[in-house]
Amino acid sequence: MKNVTVGEFIVESQNNFPGSTGELSKILSAIKLASKILSHQINKAGLAKEILGSAGRENVQGEDQQKLDVFANDTFINALSARGVICGVASEENDSFIAFNDNVNNDAKYVVLIDPLDGSSNIDVNVSVGTIFSVYKRQSKKGSPVEMKDFLQSGNNQVASGYIIYGSSTMLVYTTGKGVNGFTFDPSIGVFFLSNPDMKIPDMGKIYSVNEGNLNQFKQPVRDYISYCQSEQNKSNYTSRYIGSLVADFHRNLIKGGIYMYPSNTKNLNGKLRLTYECAPLAFLVEQAGGRAISETQRIMDIVPSELHERVPFFVGSKSMVNHLEEILAGESK
Ligand code: P6P
């Protein structure tokens, strides 16, 4: 396979979209640039103590903001606002959306939702972390300032989504609705190369990922499914793998097969993960790779958000495993 760079891939893929104006390509390029900058900071975090640790304030979620959370948020927002191709962005780190309210950006047709640095509390202990992003066409009138309704669309309306995982290597994995492709960063020359073309999640896997410390707080059907995963009768010999960093757990299961679960529990009545910039983008990706993503009651991509930071229970991964869990949730199976 010729060493295709992500830039070449974006240009080649653009030809698949008749009448495309290149704006989506520019968004992906902005994300690519920001991820390179962030990857550099993360990979030297252990040495550059000044960027480690808490920023000394909480984000809208009430979570202790890390210094790198702030750096990541600023880096992605600056890269996205600089190209005049999106009219606004919504981020986990900001209470409400940010309107790039000038003549150029108000004419743009896309909005981006982003979790700039998910799992950042893991950085200080050298565990992989990630960025998750989602792209929609605006619903509000072109030329006018972006509106909240532009960010509260069902996942079915996504035109692109993806993640960057900052791990043993930095990878960009994304979809524009025509399959999933993975690109690995070569820091020696500063380029992402196509390393995982046309990614497909195995229909069946042996890995279940859940924080079993919350087991007693889960609803009975979820506990029943976890008991099945652990039972002797289960001939599939499941194994438990939970890193506590969503992008890392998702990426491993995408490649090896498996199911990731963040159920509702007595502490988090709707679960912990956010629909708009965590669950919906990963749901788009996993369905493009042949997998499934549900809440306790419906397909993640069908849910219309009622507010920006809405949380939902999240079950995502290999189709057969999610189907089995869904049967148990519906009381149709044990
Ligand atoms: P818990 C990180 O804070 C995060 O949002 C995800 O990356 C991760 O999967 C989850 O929370 C871990 O949550 O409650 O198991 O520590």
Query: What confidence tens digit (pLDDT) does each residue in 12-56 have?
Result: 888 777 777 788 999 999 999 999 999 999 988 666 666 666 777
Closest C-alpha to ligand 1, atom 15:
211
Looking at the structure, do residues 213 and 173 belong to the same domain, yes or no? no
Please name which of 205, 243, 305, 248 lies closest in space to residue 295, comparing C-alpha atoms. 305
We report the CATH number of the domain holding residue 233 as 3.40.190.80
**Ligand 1, atom nearest to 129 Cα:** 7
Does the Cβ of 187 fall within 6 Å of ligand 1? no
Please name which of 232, 206, 226 lies closest in space to residue 214, comparing C-alpha atoms. 226
Q: How many Å apart are CA 287 and CA 7, to the nearest integer?
A: 24
We report the CATH number of the domain holding residue 75 as 3.30.540.10
Looking at the structure, do residues 212 and 192 belong to the same domain, yes or no? no
Q: How far apart are the CA of 246 and the centre of ligand 1, in A?
A: 6
Does the Cβ of 211 fall within 6 Å of ligand 1? yes
Q: Is the pLDDT of residue 233 over 60?
A: yes
Looking at the structure, do residues 260 and 117 belong to the same domain, yes or no? no
Looking at the structure, do residues 72 and 166 belong to the same domain, yes or no? yes
Looking at the structure, do residues 214 and 167 belong to the same domain, yes or no? no
**Domain end point (choices 196, 225, 246):** 196
Looking at the structure, do residues 95 and 166 belong to the same domain, yes or no? yes
pLDDT tens digits along 247-301: 999 999 999 999 999 999 998 999 999 999 999 999 999 999 999 999 999 999 9
**Domain end point (choices 196, 219, 252):** 196
Report, as an integer, the average pLDDT of 155-173. Answer: 97
- Please state whether 134 falls in left (phi above 0), alpha (psi between -120 and 50) or beta: beta
**Domain end point (choices 166, 196, 226):** 196
Looking at the structure, do residues 185 and 239 belong to the same domain, yes or no? no
In a domain, 201, yes or no: no
Q: How far apart are the CA of 20 and the centre of ligand 1, in A?
A: 37
- Amino acid 80 reads L
Residue among 131, 245, 275 whose CB has most ligand 1 atoms within 8 A, to mutate:
245
Residue 245 DSSP one-character state: -
pLDDT tens digits along 12-21: 888 777 777 7
Report, as an integer, the average pLDDT of 163-180. Answer: 96
Report, as an integer, the average pLDDT of 138-146. Answer: 94
Looking at the structure, do residues 136 and 42 belong to the same domain, yes or no? yes
Does the Cβ of 23 fall within 6 Å of ligand 1? no
In a domain, 1, yes or no: no
Q: Is the pLDDT of residue 83 over 90?
A: no
Q: Edge to edge, what strands does the sheet with 170-175 contain?
A: 98-99, 86-91, 110-118, 129-137, 158-166, 170-175, 180-186, 191-196
**Ligand 1, atom nearest to 260 Cα:** 9
Q: Is the pLDDT of residue 1 over 60?
A: no
Domain membership of residue 137 as a residue range: 6-196
In a domain, 202, yes or no: no
Handedness of CA 269, 98, 120, 7 (dihedral sign): positive
In a domain, 94, yes or no: yes
Looking at the structure, do residues 214 and 300 belong to the same domain, yes or no? yes
pLDDT tens digits along 219-229: 999 999 999 99
What's the domain count of the chain?
2
In a domain, 322, yes or no: yes
Looking at the structure, do residues 159 and 222 belong to the same domain, yes or no? no
Q: Is the pLDDT of residue 135 over 70?
A: yes
Does the Cβ of 130 fall within 6 Å of ligand 1? no
In a domain, 334, yes or no: no
Asked whether the whole model's pTM tops 0.85, one would answer: yes
Looking at the structure, do residues 38 and 79 belong to the same domain, yes or no? yes
Q: How far apart are the CA of 118 and the centre of ligand 1, in A?
A: 8
pLDDT at 16: 75
Residue 200, phi then psi, degrees to nearest 5: -130, 130
Element (H, E) at 320: helix 319-329
pLDDT at 63: 73
In a domain, 250, yes or no: yes
In a domain, 159, yes or no: yes
Closest C-alpha to ligand 1, atom 2:
119
Looking at the structure, do residues 16 and 67 belong to the same domain, yes or no? yes
Q: Is the pLDDT of residue 117 over 80?
A: yes
